[in-house]
Amino acid sequence: MGEPRVERVAMISLHTSPLDQPGTGDAGGMNVYVVEVARRLAAQGIAVDIFTRATSSALDPVVPLTDGVTVHHVHAGPFEGLTKEELPGQLCVFAREVLRVEAVQPAGHYDIVHSHYWLSGQVGALARDRWGVPLVHSMHTMAKVKNDALAEGDTPEPAARVIGEEQVVEATDVLIANTDLEAKQLINLYDAEAGRVEVVHPGVDASVFRPLSPEGCARARRERSLAEDALVLLFAGRIQPLKAPDVLLRAVAELLVRRPDLRRRLVVPIVGGPSGSGLERPTALASLADELRIDDVVRFVPPVPQHELADWYASATVVAVPSYNESFGLVAAEAQAAGAPVVAAAVGGLTTVVRDGRSGLLVDTHEPHDWAVALERVVADPAYRDRLAAGALVQAEEFSWEATAAQTLAVYERAHSLMRQTDDREAGVLL
């Protein structure tokens, strides 16, 4: 491969900060992704600067995240009260401030730009042209995919986002897809060149998300006021229609009709906070629990740090991921690493993360009846549940952030090769 070309990376995560608590606002799996990849790259001696929009005047302009990783809070628009839909109006200001940071450095300061989500890709495309370095882009979610699998009552993504995503795909040197399915969607829905799409699976931090000993599990349950014999059906994530926590609640109500004897032991923790269109009705899920008469088994838990989330997973009998779409499904991967079987919707990246019948169950619909049957199959058969839990640990070994970072670095190197080939071709045409 020759001498290494990548020593310093500019990562752009415009609309959500890697310092934000996942499960709040727009913070979720992408935040975890940016932080973990940046940390692993830094461990290989690569300096990473992460640019994100400042959402408070109290934030320091520059914050060290860890050795080799620095977060830059860029002032673009009002600190608070700006929705994600309003952020396109701040792209020019954000891009200008990013370019200013680079302008005071020696020429060739950054070797690569890696943007996350389409808004960041718009800024990344400008930086790519200005700095003369390759642009690598991770979509994380795509408007066309989301609109094709829209949750009932959810708001479709606007045409402006679709156009913006198409522009980013065209401008990017290499696109990183989380799964083979996402790669196909980029090619088929966005006309991405197949030779410029690379599949790199996200990972799991095995030092945080890990199985507990029986004693450790008992301790984790006691700390969460969960009885030793409780049947814990856990949901973790942002509370919004896309993530479909309502599907789980409706399934629980049907499960209790089928098996009223389970009520004494059943606990359904909903770990997370309202987000996206869920902010419009922040109490809707609690109201649904009341309406379904399952409020006695449902427990709402605010978002928690990763080490606490790991103990929630390890305390769970099963983790439910009923989303209408997931580009990967980080919750499912983390839960499996903690030894929890997963019941997930058979959509998007979840079909890659979860091995149906081996590490969990995939449900082809969002019908409460089908979900109730799947959940009953796991909670009512301890031997089957134990087999799935063992399979979950095996499946989790497929995903590590170290592998993600190593493959991402290889993508950076390939992006340089592709950009050089393009430059050579253009020079040949000029000659």
Annotated binding-site residue? 84: yes
Annotated binding-site residue? 22: yes
How crowded is residue 41: how many other Cβ atoms within 10 Å of its Cβ?
A: 24
Annotated binding-site residue? 243: yes
SS3 176: strand
Annotated binding-site residue? 26: yes
Report whether 127 contacts 134 (CB < 8 A).
no
Annotated binding-site residue? 31: yes
**What backbone phi and psi angles, to 5 degrees, belong to 239?**
-90, 100
110 CB burial (10 A radius; 0-12, 13-18, 19+): buried
Annotated binding-site residue? 30: yes
Annotated binding-site residue? 238: yes
Encoded tokens for 254: 């049907």
Question: Is the Cα torsion angle 140, 141, 145, 149 positive or negative in sign?
Answer: positive
Annotated binding-site residue? 341: no
Annotated binding-site residue? 316: yes
Annotated binding-site residue? 147: no
Distance CA(109)–CA(7), nearest Å, equals 9
SS3 115: strand
Annotated binding-site residue? 146: no
Annotated binding-site residue? 215: no
Instruction: For residue 369, give the H/E element and its range.
Output: helix 368-379
Encoded tokens for 117: 């989500």
Annotated binding-site residue? 387: no
How crowded is residue 387: how many other Cβ atoms within 10 Å of its Cβ?
A: 15
Binding residues for 1D-myo-inositol 3-phosphate: 15, 26-31, 84, 117, 141, 161
Binding residues: 15, 21-22, 26-31, 84, 117, 141, 161, 238, 243, 304, 313, 316, 326, 334
Binding residues for Mg(2+): 313, 316
Binding residues for UDP-N-acetyl-alpha-D-glucosamine: 21-22, 29, 238, 243, 304, 326, 334
